[in-house]
Amino acid sequence: MLVSTKAIVLSKLKYRDNDLIVKCYTQKFGAINYIIRGVYSSRRASQKAAYYQLLSQLQLEAVHKENKTLQSIKDVKSAAIYTSMHTHVLKSAIVMFLAEVLANVLNEEEKNSTLYEFLEHALLWLDVEDSYSNFHLVFLLKLTKHLGFYPDVSNIHYSYFNLQEGSFQEVSAHNTISGEILTGLKTLLGINFDALNTVKISLNQRQHLLEHILMYYRFHVDGFKQPKSLDVFNQVFN
């Protein structure tokens, strides 16, 4: 079946000498793995590999066959042209890190238009904005809403947050956070990307917040793996 859909590149892997396996989150079908034949077989063909940079937004014409692990792409073009995402050092580090997280957690072959729109708009925002130091934190928190484990904020005034339970509580317990980490979490919950320039969080607080948000993911996403790109990401932002 020939299908047309927008897609966001989550990961890519060179296969054999000339092929490429690309995991995309598509607007119409959820997470799909594609094989692109002959990407590196000629100079002209290798230009097509440039389309599949991490978190690129594409318009695909693809052949989908039932019970196939790998689908094929007939034609591709850019659905959005980034101006800085893949050329700015700090933004490139964010792209590498978030792409790895998304490839880890987005595995359902099921349409989710709301999630796709969130990803699409968030990435376009990051591409054009200059104040984005806390973008990855807000992105990961907002993503939990689409994955089904957004923190319960009904008791947000309490002094502790239980990472395993996903709720605020009055007393300390195992896997709870408090103090400046909790203050940072409360600050970031519920804000829009456009308000990021109003958020003042220290580098140390930001790094600890990221560690605990990733821990939160480990509690709530089966098989969640610590991103390999985390060390590089922290080095770039130090």
Query: 122-176: per-residue pLDDT in tens?
Result: 999 999 999 898 999 999 999 999 999 999 999 999 999 999 999 999 999 999 9
pLDDT above 80: residue 59: yes
Helix (H, G, I), strand (E, B) or coil at 78: strand
- Domain containing residue 100: CATH number: 1.20.1440.120
**Overall pTM > 0.85:** yes
Specify whether the CB–CB gap between 34 and 24 falls below 8 A.
yes
Residues 180 and 95 in one domain: yes
Helices 135-147 and 89-105 pack at an angle, to 10 degrees, of 20
CA 25 to chain centre: 10
Q: How many domains does the chain have?
A: 2
pLDDT above 60: residue 45: no
State which of 43, 62, 81 marks the end of a domain.
81
Residues 148 and 183 in one domain: yes
Residues 5 and 89 in one domain: no
Residues 88 and 177 in one domain: yes
| Radius of gyration (C-alpha) of the chain in whole angstroms | 19
Residues 99 and 33 in one domain: no
Residues 202 and 114 in one domain: yes
Residues 66 and 30 in one domain: yes
Structure-derived torsion over alpha carbons of residues 132, 133, 137, 142, reported in degrees to the nearest 10: -10
